[in-house]
A and B are shown apart, each in its own frame.
Chain A
Amino acid sequence: MAEVGKTPLLDELENGPWPSFVKEIKRAAEKNEMSKDLLGQLERSYEEKIGHWKHGGIVGVKGYGGGVIGRYSDLPDEFPALREFHTMRVAAPSGWFYKTDTLRTICDIWERHGSGLTNMHGSTGDIILLGMTTEELQPTYDEFAEQGMDLGGSGSDLRSPSCCVGPARCEHACYDTLDACFDITNEFQDELHRPMWPYKSKIKFAGCANDCVAAQARADISVVGTWRDAIQVDQAAVAEYADGGLNIQKYVVDKCPTGCMAFDAEKKELTIDNPECSRCMHCINVMGKALKIGKERGATIMIGAKSTIVKSAFMSWVLVPFMPMEAPYDEFKELCNEIWDWWDENGKTRERLGETIYRLGMGKFLRDLGIEAVPQMVYKPRSNPYVFWQPEDF
């Protein structure tokens, strides 16, 4: 067991004005042996520069294939409270909006059954509960289920979909990310709880191209809000920005990635060549009072992002430039099923969707799914190596 006050390396991480996970583990260690041993093992890892966790194994709750990640210490004799230190993922609400009562309930249940340590939230978006024994898994889950909560995804299944705060707090939301995330999570419960694919699959919903949920860099299927008509321009407000000292030419027009804007400094008038606009959101972010997203709203569906695994990290490709995103989201759901069927048929074990597409070619993927290649899929026509002419095209 770790001796209190014998963690000089970890103690360094309490210095400075920012929050410290060491401080929080020490607080938890005052009433929990697991947290106390965690400090000891972590200090040891810092000394030896070696991680002392083993993970994997078959642990879970009845009826679920995902949601629990088995974790064990490889120093169980020295840190007996870490012999079993499993992680449980609890699905979070859309946009991470909680009532304080709910947060108290979660913490109360967790302090009764586990280490009391939480990670709010993990990168997938779930509530991560760190540190529990195998024996406590089922009773913990049962208590969460009684409170109307459910486990999130883990392993080779659909990970819990997540979304930005969307229309709840943001005027840029091009569709209701909160509703889409909730609806689609409920639709794909089988896929979420039963790992049966080559590897994990993530869906993330961003209300606009600012992408506050970082979908384009992380999700196998990204749903990024956009519009297909014109940016709404209030020329009086443009003039106000100019009068207020904003250098519109320098900070807006010259920063436009497609060069689709022009500013007449004399007339204080901004013009936009909307067909050339890539909906990047930069001008709207700078001049929020003068420019607003268009009125015909929906989303761009992108695919294939991931972190480094078999291949290096990938950003998303555009698959569908514009899709209306309105309940019941049938078009999107149908597309997901087709994408997953293709990946399931063609993917190798531990190969993410983007890696399968990279290996077999975007052309094959598009042809197999019956999706026509369109200019929005490529940054510069004729310079993209993924889309080729087929013999039958000649």
Chain B
Amino acid sequence: MDKGPADPKVKEAVLAYLDTVEKAKSKEIAKAIDVPKGAVDLAVKELAAEDLVEYLYITTTFVALKGKVAPPE
């Protein structure tokens, strides 16, 4: 089932928000930029493919701007 492309405005808002924090969960991003979490998930997926953000798995999944969080020792 194709969910279609992400909304470019949501992608911009996600990048802008992640610039203000170290890392965040999709749910937190959705709340902060006031859009449904599904839209954030889709935007993050595209942004990850574009190498602009990365997923961090720290018991749950966080999202951060690429390279912003140092890898664990």
User: Which one of A60, A64, A330 lies within 8 Å of B1 (CB-CB)?
Assistant: A330
Of the candidates A195, A329, A333, A341, which one forms a contact with B57 in the assembled complex, judged by CB atoms under 8 Å apart? Answer: A195
Within 8 A of B (CB), among A183-197: 187, 190, 194-196
Interchain CB contact under 8 A, A65 and B38: no
B37 and A65 form a contact (CB under 8 A): no
Q: CB-CB < 8 A to B57: which residues of A?
A: 58, 60, 64-65, 194-195
Measured between beta carbons, the chain B residues less than 8 angstroms from A333 are 1
Map CB proximity to A onto B36-64 as digits: 1 under 8 Å, 0 otherwise: 11100100010000000001011111000
Interface size class of A (residues with CB under 8 A): 20 to 34
- On whether the beta carbons of B36 and A341 are closer than 8 Å, the reply is yes
Interface digits, A162-198 against B, CB 8 Å rule (1 contact, 0 not)? 0000000000000000000000000100100011100
Interface residues on B, range: 10 to 19
Let me know if A392 is at the binding interface, CB within 8 A: no
A330 to B36 Cα, complex, angstroms: 21
Closest chain B residue to A59, Cβ basis: B57
In-complex Cβ contact of B58 among A58, A187, A330 (8 A): A58
> Does B67 count as interface, using CB distance less than 8 angstroms?
no
- Residue B72 at the chain A interface, CB threshold 8 Å: yes
Contact with A along B1-23 (1 / 0, CB 8 A): 10100000000000000000000
CB within 8 Å for A187 and B1 given contacts A196-B26, A344-B37: yes
Which of B1, B3, B25, B72 sits near A196, CB closer than 8 Å?
Answer: B25
Contact A341–B60 (Cβ < 8 Å)? no
CB-based contact A328/B55 at 8 Å: no
A114 beta carbon closer than 8 Å to chain B: no
Q: Which residues of A contact B45 (CB under 8 A)?
A: 190
Q: Is the CB–CB distance between A155 and B60 below 8 Å?
A: yes
Are B38 and A341 in touch, CB under 8 angstroms? yes
Q: Tell me, yes or no, whether A334 is within 8 Å of chain B by CB.
A: yes
Q: Tell whether B68 is near chain A: CB-to-CB under 8 Å.
A: no
CB distance from A32 to the nearest CB of B (A): 29
User: For B1, what are the chain A residues with a Cβ–Cβ distance below 8 Å?
Assistant: 187, 328-330, 333-334
> Quick check: B72 and A65 within 8 Å, CB to CB?
no
8 A Cβ contacts from A331-347 to B: 333-334, 337, 341, 344-345
Q: Give B36's nearest chain A residue, CB to CB.
A: A341
A37 CB, min distance to chain B CBs, angstroms: 27
- Check: B66 CB closer than 8 A to any chain A CB: no
What is the CB-to-nearest-CB distance from B25 to chain A, in angstroms, rounded to a whole number? 7
**Which A residues between 51 and 98 are near B, CB-CB below 8 angstroms?**
56, 58, 60, 63-65
Q: Which residues of A contact B58 (CB under 8 A)?
A: 58
Verify if A156 is at the interface (C-beta below 8 Å from B).
Answer: yes
Across the interface, which residues of A come within 8 angstroms of B55, CB to CB? 63, 65, 194
Instruction: For residue B55, give the distance in angstroms from its CB to the closest CB of chain A.
Output: 6
Cα separation A337 to B58 with both chains bound (whole Å): 24
Interface residues of A (CB under 8 A from B): 56, 58, 60, 63-65, 155-156, 187, 190, 194-196, 328-330, 333-334, 337, 341, 344-345
Interface residues of B (CB under 8 A from A): 1, 3, 25-27, 36-38, 41, 45, 55, 57-61, 72
**A-B pairs with beta carbons under 8 Å apart, 18 shown:** A56-B59, A58-B57, A58-B58, A58-B59, A58-B72, A155-B60, A187-B1, A190-B45, A194-B57, A195-B60, A195-B61, A196-B25, A329-B1, A333-B1, A334-B1, A337-B38, A341-B36, A345-B37
